[in-house]
Amino acid sequence: MVFSLFLLILLFSSLSSASLLDQVHRIDEPVPVCDRSNSNNSHIYCNSTLLMAVNYHELYNDSKTFVDMPMKNDPDYVLEKFNEEFSNISVEAINRTKLQQFVDTYFSPPGSEMLPCTPEDWNPQPAKLMSIVDPQLREWALKLNAIWRSLCKKIDPAIENSSSRYLLIYLPHNFIMPGGRFREFYYWDAYWIIKVTFTWVFDQ
């Protein structure tokens, strides 16, 4: 193992720094993480005065809350209405109450585009859990098993035809969300959920 590591270090040290730099992809202009070239609502959720105002006035305890709130109208219309009311006012001078009223008027509650679902193979009383002898431990395990139903979500099909109002990408199938402040799906979480689920299924 040590000898293999030594050979690897020797190999890299034999490469000139110039040859390594030649392999690096050079970018003359910075590529925005989120702008109109790669998002149809970046001017609301990514780099807008509205977003700055919401965060500055701390409308929500969690900065993720606002970006999880779907728009009730198309983004250009929402931005137009925001500019009509607040365009000549600095972010600091915006009235917090009026800003909250604006958000409540043009945005839906966070996660409202998610619909509940129940996993097709979910069993409220799996044999393995029912075999637990200790009644308190068995009750705890069954309550834990019931959480699958609250974590199972599907995206409202309406998103497919009005994607600019949402940050989520429409998926036609059910999925398991991480829970807590994370209302959307994540590949890494999905990997471990699937891994544990398969372990559970084949260990029945």
* Residue 31 CB coordination number (10 Å): 8
CA 153/CA 163 separation, integer angstroms: 18
The b/e string for 137-159 (b: 16+ C-beta within 10 A; e otherwise) is eeeebeeebeebeeebbebbeeb
Q: What is the pLDDT of residue 191?
A: 74
**pLDDT by 10s per residue, the chain, length 204:** 433 443 344 444 444 444 544 555 565 666 666 776 667 788 888 888 999 999 999 999 998 999 999 999 999 999 999 999 998 899 999 999 999 999 999 999 998 888 998 888 889 998 889 999 999 999 999 998 898 888 888 999 888 888 889 888 888 888 888 777 787 777 777 777 777 666 655 555
Q: What is the pLDDT of residue 42?
A: 84
CA 53/CA 50 separation, integer angstroms: 5
Q: What is the pLDDT of residue 148?
A: 86
> For the chain, which residues make up each domain, given as ranges?
41-106, 114-201
Residue 87 · residue 177 · CB < 8 Å: no
Residue with tokens 């005065």: 49
pTM (2 d.p.): 0.70
Q: What is the pLDDT of residue 19?
A: 52
101 φ, ψ to 5°? Answer: -65, -40
